[in-house]
A and B are shown apart, each in its own frame.
Chain A
Amino acid sequence: MQYPKKTDMSALIKPRSVLLLGSGGLKIGQAGEFDYSGTQAIKALKEEGIRVVLLNPNIATVQTDENLADAVYFLPLTLQFAMQVIKKEKPEAILLGFGGQTALNLGLELQSKGILAKYKVKVLGTPISTIRNTEDRELFVKRLAEIDVKTARSFAATNIADARKAGDKIGYPVMVRAGFALGGEGSGIVRNSDELSKKLAAIFHPRPVRDAVSNGVHPQVLIEEYLGGWKEVEYEIVRDSADNCISVCNMENIDPMGIHTGESMVVAPSQTLSNEEYHRLREIAIRAIRHLGVVGECNIQYALHPKTGEYRVIEVNARLSRSSALASKATGYPLAFVATKLALGFTLPELKNSVTKTTAACFEPALDYIVLKMPRWDLTKFENAITLIGTEMKSVGEVMAIGRSFEEVLQKAIRMLSIGADGFTANKNGNFKVAQYLDEIKNPTTRRIFAIAQALRSGISPKKISSISGIDPWFLQKMENIVRYAKFLPRSDLGRKTILDAKKLGFSDIQIATLTKSTEDKVRKERKRLEILPVIKQIDTLAGEFPAKTNYLYLTYNGTENDVTRGKKSVIVLGSGPYCIGSSVEFDWSCVQALKTLSKNEYETVMINSNPETVSTDYDMSNRLYFEELSLERVLDIYEFEKSRGVVISTGGQIPNNLALPLHNNGVRILGTSPKNIDRAEDRHAFSKLLDRLDIDQPAWVELTTHKAVAREALKIGYPVLVRPSYVLSGSAMKVAYDEVSLSKFLKRATDISDEHPVVISKFIENAREIEIDGVASQGKLVIYAITEHVENAGTHSGDATVVLPAQRTYMETIRRAKQITKSIVKELKITGPFNIQFLAKDNHLQVIECNVRSSRSFPFVSKVTGYNFIDIATKAMLGKDVSGDYRTLELDFVAVKSPQFSYARIKGADPVSNVEMASTGEVVCFGDSFPEALIKAMMASGFRLPRKNILVSLSKEENRVKLLPALRELAKMKFKLFATEDTADFMNENSVACDKVYKISTKKEPGVLALIEKGNLDLIINIPTRVSDQESKDGYIIRRMAVDLNIPLITNRQLADSFIMSLAEMKPHSLKSNSLLEYSGRSR
């Protein structure tokens, strides 16, 4: 076999400047992992002295920090803006592989439109042609066939006869996939040709809906080889330009083919593959990647038959991915960093392993531990959302557990999810009992793991569970070990060996307490008395073969010796745990800033986190990284071992915040505000009393323990009321009830109401505006603050709101009062560190909704917009440093707008309407000279397309119509073609705003609104629901859902609609400027 000679150093590509494309707002399928990859890429480029220009509107990321890239553009990731940045910055090269599918698609578009050629921008790393070969199904299959690599057989058919021929060729069962034009409807398994004909008859049957949607495209189906039940295995492959090629990690999905990798539990390395299978797939991977010509990093996915060992290549992702972030954290191999260097022409043998610093980067990590990734879902936040899991990704985050037995990592991972589960079994919380367990195993839901536990507890054999789930019996037998031990433990002597064995199987102190009718505290004390302590192990990429200077650690009970001794003068920072709705990269950003400040102040930093999609868990972010549970037990274990100086709990969001008091009660020194005072802000009763005493107004609320009392008090307070149960059975945890009917319906369906689980109801104030103060205090004295203002009225969760800084419509007097209130709360709680207070404002009257004595979601936003790093100041304050100063945050020469990023398209069935429950998965921020410019750019950055011609308006309630009338007039003036539903149309026509009337779905009259949405080429739908009753909004729901499914821009909030239309009227698209952060902030300073 002949290989080309190695390219020598002269082949290095040293561009003076590189444009790096980010991934934008976090959404399902594309989360914080790209902050990790982008941040490493920037570091790798900077090390070579290259100027880095970053395009990414996600302000909550570490990669957009000012001391990383040389120029940061908070702009939409669209052709228009990318082109402007290229024109202005004239980068010599571009990196496409570090910002997920968003960056890759934008890169392909820039290339195909000739922009890259025109401005002579060289694509670094994997060539465009290779990317196209991996993205285009037909090309991909063809390229792999050239080297005899097998892919799933698949044929396209547009009629029944062709489809039957294809079915015969492949052999039954086959998978039928309805093409995109059919919205995926009709996909499924078919076992014989008769079934196929029947199914296709239904699919090809002409129905108006489908014909309209397909826009003249003939319906097409794919007849595919059925791979359900095959094992799903992935390899992460690295290749350099001299054709050196290695496999960094292999991973096995516990859930077989048929469940998206993002929805699967995944182990690394593979557990049920023999040496032959492991290395056969590895060899094929290397052969395929060489043939395709990837330069840098990529991921290859296989289906592997559990009985025959046959394989099929499913896909190749020629870019950094969620899997590569996981592989990087699982092995300690810095994939993104290495991929960047390779893109610059370095070869693998030229690079050092940055973990060991002694061995070569051209090697394959050997693990001496097992890693398990578990997805984190958040579907309860959405009404109507379907909890079945399958080929589409719905999870919003993930955790990664490291240990030395499968049982240990499984139980650890379940706890890391922070969903109230104590482990695989022995859960105090009844939510993890699954009544229809066999159903939920067979038709997997987000609760499948708990259904398996229930089945095993009920005596169902691993073999039987394997046969209905497709999960390899090996995993199920391991799970059975846990269930068996849970049954044995209460009957045991509870001696040293018994407890130690329980710990080796991953049981937490809480689980042991539950099983033995004890308490966590007692179990911990007894355990320590018996000298049962976890040991600390290093992740060194080579299983101890060579000495390594690694700081990457985990704890296990399956070992007898610590790899490290305790550090000196250390401070622990608790991370945010898995991403979920409401807790996302912004908290990781805060943790990273805290680490940086601690380090600058000569503390050794210790990071604890369980989320692989983070920058805080990068090998170079802390002196010591414990990839561990954020639980009381584990944090105490680490704190007691390290004898740390203190713990920062205020930068990682709610999970560490909840640990403040328990840690404090166990003698841990919490830095910043006293945990007792944090608790006074958290405890509704205490906080309410505090506000009363300070003479600060708050919405009336009452806590109740019976249905009857709730109904009575609701009437007294006056509808609408906000209902917040303390114990949720299913569905959302919060709801606005507009009348007695909806109140009792919600209480019956969603909550268990009792003395133990009270329900809080409070007055829901309509038409009030919301403002927030993010700030830092030191010993009860306000140091710095920023006031932000919501575009939407109260009723939209602050995480879903469009937020403006500096405030545009808030009176100076209101700001003054908000500041006064803030000062008195800060003083009363003796706050030291970050905090956030939310206000309701009606005219100049202010009410306090809540106060969080911790960093909030908006800290990166206010920090980057005002130019003051709030977390840096807060951390210094927590260390007792003098942080007083003259911070100017009210007067800025520009406006920044934060827009929510939703993932409704991924959450089938969910009603895309903003509510008191948060639903957005991410956010973006854009800057402008004016509010309109910033708002329009921010909306575009979150995926909103500006309307060109056709707009549908459907407004419930007269009030909404009246209030939007001026805006509707502007739309007409701008020559948009307007359509409106019945009442809205009548209203508009009466007020001489020309529009075409369409009929509601329920009236079944023509022209109907559905047909319009389907074939009307709509550019925008404005649908403002009433929220009053479920029945009335059914039509609205269908309209909104269709908008999402057909990718039509949608606005459902009146204030946002008004702001958007008025902004559009004021702005011209070409006047949307592309300035870097420095160009904006430079003006203020």
Chain B
Amino acid sequence: MKLILEDGTIFEGKSFGAPPAGGYASGEVVFNTGMVGYVESLSDPSYAGQILVLSYPLVGSYGVPERRFFESSKIQAAGLVVAEYSQNYSHHSARQSLAQWLIRSKVPAITGVDTRALTKKIREHGVMLGVIDANPVRASASGRTKFLDPNEENLVARVSTKRPETYGAGPATIVLIDCGMKENILRSLQRPGIKIIRVPWDYDFSNDAYDAIVISNGPGDPNMCPETIANVKRAMISNKPILGICLGTQLLALAGGAGTYKLKYGHRSQNQPCIDVETKRCYITSQNHGYAVDAKSLPGDWKVWFTNANDGSVEGIKHRTRPWSAVQFHPEASPGPTDTAWIFEDFLHAIPKKN
């Protein structure tokens, strides 16, 4: 089995997942440098359409736990590339091996790849398209190799929930726009007295009764979601608290009049330092995004909340007068550090109290 990149580079390896349908699986090849969390990452809908490369070499060691620990119902990534798949796994919570899960989810995976070399390649060339190719004959990228750009498709529509679902009971109600939501966002918001209505990405909630809005993470380019942007814009007429997470940040920014751009190779790791511009405090955050908010494009009534300590990119925005804020990283963690879980607390506190 091979991983073929759009520039013609080939990485040979061995299959340990499902055989790719039709002989090969295509996607955008992205890397993540986290040392734990393959279960959470693979089930994160933000990875839809992407072939995930894990730079940590040993993968599969602790198996795969029950469904309730996933970030969505299934594996969302289009493929997985690792250096060494660990045949044996050992963990009290494990219910199956990673290979079993991949096979059951019909997701191809390849082991035996120098994932550091691959990571460096992506770093230098920027994110690339690629295919996982099971055909032993095809030795190189030829005219027949089809590289499909997942970003041309509306990935959000693919992974978003299909109909509204309600969790918990009021009095307070949060509309949670599912653009490919990680379930830990839902878990992080759930508590007594809070009703959450999880709605599809393009659901018009303007006639529904609610007290606050959360815009979730999700895959791909925010500009693929004009419906969501329009719905959020409409909601901005009222003064209800809004929290954006990851893709949700970009959507909120676009709704607020700012612009977004594609990063060269995105932020996909669990060790991204983000600095709160006001307090100068530094937080270690978990991230998975390929697009970012352009600081220069922010209208005057918005300000940068967090910046990335490594490359200075925008990691959070805040409205100067309204209760609207958003973070590019994942306060819900899973995978990754839990340092910014307080963002949910602050958001919930901002919801006006009802009896």
Say yes or no: A275-B309 contact (C-beta < 8 A), given A547-B123, A559-B114: no
Kindly identify, within residues 70 to 91 of chain B, every residue whose CB is under 8 Å from any CB belonging to chain A: 83-84, 86-91
Kindly identify, within residues 273 to 311 of chain B, every residue whose CB is under 8 Å from any CB belonging to chain A: 273, 275, 279-282, 284, 309-310
Quick one: which of B34, B88, B280 contacts A366, CB cutoff 8 A?
B34
Q: Are A545 and B33 in contact (CB under 8 A)?
A: yes
Q: Give the distance to chain B from A914, nearest Cβ to Cβ, in Å.
A: 47
- For residue B338, CB closer than 8 A to chain A, the reply is yes
Task: Give the complex CA separation of A16 and B336 in angstroms.
Answer: 42
Say yes or no: A543-B56 contact (C-beta < 8 A), given A474-B61, A559-B116, A560-B114: yes
Task: Give the complex CA separation of A270 and B31 in angstroms.
Answer: 21
Q: Are A537 and B116 in contact (CB under 8 A)?
A: yes
Task: Give the complex CA separation of A347 and B270 in angstroms.
Answer: 21
Which residues of A sit under 8 angstroms from B336, Cβ to Cβ? 275, 279
Which residues of B sit under 8 angstroms from A365, Cβ to Cβ? 271
Q: Give the distance to chain B from A585, nearest Cβ to Cβ, in Å.
A: 32
Q: Are A282 and B91 in contact (CB under 8 A)?
A: no
- For residue B57, CB closer than 8 A to chain A, the reply is yes
Q: Are B36 and A274 in contact (CB under 8 A)?
A: yes
Task: Give the complex CA separation of A282 and B281 in angstroms.
Answer: 18
Kindly identify, within residues 793 to 824 of chain A, every residue whose CB is under 8 Å from any CB belonging to chain B: none
Quick one: which of A283, A307, A370, A560 contacts B117, CB cutoff 8 A?
A560
Say yes or no: A244-B282 contact (C-beta < 8 A), given A271-B61, A364-B271, A544-B116: yes
Which residues of B sit under 8 angstroms from A363, Cβ to Cβ? 271-273, 284, 309-310
Pairs across A and B, CB under 8 Å, 13 listed: A6-B281, A271-B61, A283-B339, A362-B273, A363-B272, A363-B310, A366-B271, A367-B56, A370-B57, A543-B33, A543-B119, A543-B269, A544-B119
Q: Give the distance to chain A from B7, nearest Cβ to Cβ, in Å.
A: 15
Interface flags for A327-365 (1: CB within 8 Å of B; 0: not) read 000000000000000000001110000000011101111
Q: Are B33 and A542 in contact (CB under 8 A)?
A: yes
Task: Give the complex CA separation of A416 and B123 in angstroms.
Answer: 34
Kindly identify, within residues 89 to 123 of chain B, every residue whose CB is under 8 Å from any CB belonging to chain A: 89-93, 114-117, 119-120, 123
Quick one: which of A1, A274, A368, A473 contacts B93, CB cutoff 8 A?
A274
Task: Give the complex CA separation of A362 and B272 in angstroms.
Answer: 9
Which residues of B sit under 8 angstroms from A32, Cβ to Cβ? none
Q: Are B337 and A282 in contact (CB under 8 A)?
A: yes
Q: Which residue of B lies closest to A268 (CB)?
A: B35
Residues of A whose CB lies within 8 Å of any CB of B are: 1, 3, 5-6, 242-244, 246-247, 269-276, 278-279, 282-283, 286, 306-309, 347-349, 358-360, 362-370, 404-406, 472-474, 477-478, 535, 537, 542-547, 558-561, 563
Q: Are A364 and B116 in contact (CB under 8 A)?
A: no
Q: Are B335 and A275 in contact (CB under 8 A)?
A: yes
- Beyond the given pairs A279-B333, A545-B119, 16 more chain A to chain B contacts, judged by CB atoms under 8 angstroms and listed by A's residue number, are A1-B345, A1-B346, A244-B281, A274-B65, A275-B336, A309-B92, A349-B280, A368-B56, A368-B119, A404-B84, A473-B90, A474-B88, A474-B89, A537-B116, A544-B120, A563-B116
- For residue B55, CB closer than 8 A to chain A, the reply is yes
Task: Give the complex CA separation of A309 and B34 in angstroms.
Answer: 21
Quick one: which of A308, A368, A563 contacts B92, CB cutoff 8 A?
A308
Q: Are B337 and A545 in contact (CB under 8 A)?
A: no
- For residue B329, CB closer than 8 A to chain A, the reply is no
Task: Give the complex CA separation of A240 and B307 in angstroms.
Answer: 20
- For residue B40, CB closer than 8 A to chain A, the reply is yes
Q: Are B116 and A3 in contact (CB under 8 A)?
A: no
Q: Are B62 and A273 in contact (CB under 8 A)?
A: yes
Q: Are A545 and B61 in contact (CB under 8 A)?
A: no
Quick one: which of B93, B273, B345 contacts A309, CB cutoff 8 A?
B93
Which residues of A sit under 8 angstroms from B345, Cβ to Cβ? 1
Say yes or no: A546-B123 contact (C-beta < 8 A), given A272-B62, A272-B91, A274-B65: yes
Q: Are B90 and A472 in contact (CB under 8 A)?
A: yes
The majority secondary structure among interface residues of chain B is: loop
Which residues of A sit under 8 angstroms from B350, Cβ to Cβ? none
Q: Are B310 and A359 in contact (CB under 8 A)?
A: yes
Residues of B whose CB lies within 8 Å of any CB of A are: 11, 31, 33-37, 39-40, 55-58, 61-62, 65, 69, 83-84, 86-93, 114-117, 119-120, 123, 269-273, 275, 279-282, 284, 309-310, 333-339, 342, 345-346
Q: Which residue of B lies closest to A246 (CB)?
A: B284
Q: Which residue of A lies closest to B335 (CB)?
A: A275
Task: Give the complex CA separation of A362 and B309 in angstroms.
Answer: 8
Q: Give the distance to chain A from B24, nearest Cβ to Cβ, in Å.
A: 21
Q: Give the distance to chain A from B194, nearest Cβ to Cβ, in Å.
A: 19
Task: Give the complex CA separation of A246 and B282 in angstroms.
Answer: 9
Which residues of B sit under 8 angstroms from A308, Cβ to Cβ? 92
Instruction: Please list the 8 inter-chain residue pairs (A to B) with the smallest Cβ-Cβ separation, ordered nearest first.
Output: A6-B280, A561-B117, A543-B33, A474-B90, A275-B37, A360-B309, A477-B88, A366-B33
Quick one: which of B11, B58, B271 contacts A271, CB cutoff 8 A?
B58
Task: Give the complex CA separation of A306 and B333 in angstroms.
Answer: 23
Q: Give the distance to chain A from B311, nearest Cβ to Cβ, in Å.
A: 8
Q: Are B281 and A366 in contact (CB under 8 A)?
A: no
Task: Give the complex CA separation of A1038 and B89 in angstroms.
Answer: 51
Which residues of A sit under 8 angstroms from B39, Cβ to Cβ? 274-275
Q: Are B57 and A546 in contact (CB under 8 A)?
A: no
Q: Are B61 and A405 in contact (CB under 8 A)?
A: no
Which residues of B sit under 8 angstroms from A369, Cβ to Cβ? 57
Q: Which residue of A lies closest to B122 (CB)?
A: A544
Which residues of A sit under 8 angstroms from B117, Cβ to Cβ? 559-561
Say yes or no: A286-B282 contact (C-beta < 8 A), given A274-B65, A367-B56: no
Q: Are B281 and A272 in contact (CB under 8 A)?
A: no
Task: Give the complex CA separation of A560 and B11 in angstroms.
Answer: 9
Which residues of A sit under 8 angstroms from B55, Cβ to Cβ? 366, 368, 543-545
Task: Give the complex CA separation of A276 and B61 in angstroms.
Answer: 14
Quick one: which of B33, B90, B309, B310 contacts A544, CB cutoff 8 A?
B33
Task: Give the complex CA separation of A283 and B339 in angstroms.
Answer: 7
Which residues of B sit under 8 angstroms from A247, Cβ to Cβ? 284, 337
Which residues of A sit under 8 angstroms from B88, Cβ to Cβ? 473-474, 477-478
Among B40, B58, B120, B275, find the residue whose CB has the most chain A CB atoms closer than 10 A. B58
Q: Which residue of B lies closest to A545 (CB)?
A: B33
Task: Give the complex CA separation of A926 and B145 in angstroms.
Answer: 75
Q: Are B281 and A243 in contact (CB under 8 A)?
A: yes
Task: Give the complex CA separation of A563 and B270 in angstroms.
Answer: 23
Q: Are A275 and B271 in contact (CB under 8 A)?
A: no
Q: Give the distance to chain B from A311, nearest Cβ to Cβ, in Å.
A: 13
Q: Are A368 and B115 in contact (CB under 8 A)?
A: yes
Q: Give the distance to chain A from B107, nearest Cβ to Cβ, in Å.
A: 19
Say yes or no: A3-B90 contact (C-beta < 8 A), given A362-B273, A405-B57, A542-B33: no
Quick one: which of B86, B119, B123 contacts A474, CB cutoff 8 A?
B86
Q: Are B269 and A545 in contact (CB under 8 A)?
A: yes
Q: Are A272 and B61 in contact (CB under 8 A)?
A: yes
Which residues of A sit under 8 angstroms from B69, Cβ to Cβ? 276
Q: Give the distance to chain A from B98, nearest Cβ to Cβ, in Å.
A: 12
Task: Give the complex CA separation of A276 and B91 in angstroms.
Answer: 12
Say yes or no: A366-B269 contact (C-beta < 8 A), given A405-B58, A544-B123, A558-B83: yes
Task: Give the complex CA separation of A782 and B93 in angstroms.
Answer: 69
Q: Which residue of B lies closest to A363 (CB)?
A: B273
Which residues of B sit under 8 angstroms from A5, Cβ to Cβ? 279-280
Q: Which residue of B lies closest to A240 (CB)?
A: B282
Among A537, A546, A561, find the residue whose CB has the most chain B CB atoms closer than 10 A. A561
Q: Give the distance to chain A from B101, nearest Cβ to Cβ, in Å.
A: 14
Quick one: which of A274, A348, A360, A367 contacts B91, CB cutoff 8 A?
A274
Q: Give the distance to chain A from B134, nearest Cβ to Cβ, in Å.
A: 20
Q: Are A307 and B92 in contact (CB under 8 A)?
A: yes
Which residues of A sit under 8 angstroms from B89, Cβ to Cβ? 474
Q: Give the distance to chain B from A501, nearest Cβ to Cβ, in Å.
A: 10
Which residues of B sit under 8 angstroms from A359, Cβ to Cβ? 309-310
Which residues of B sit under 8 angstroms from A547, Cβ to Cβ? 123
Task: Give the complex CA separation of A559 and B115 in angstroms.
Answer: 8
Task: Give the complex CA separation of A547 and B280 in angstroms.
Answer: 26
Q: Give the distance to chain A from B95, nearest Cβ to Cβ, in Å.
A: 12
Among A275, A307, A366, A561, find the residue whose CB has the most chain B CB atoms closer than 10 A. A275
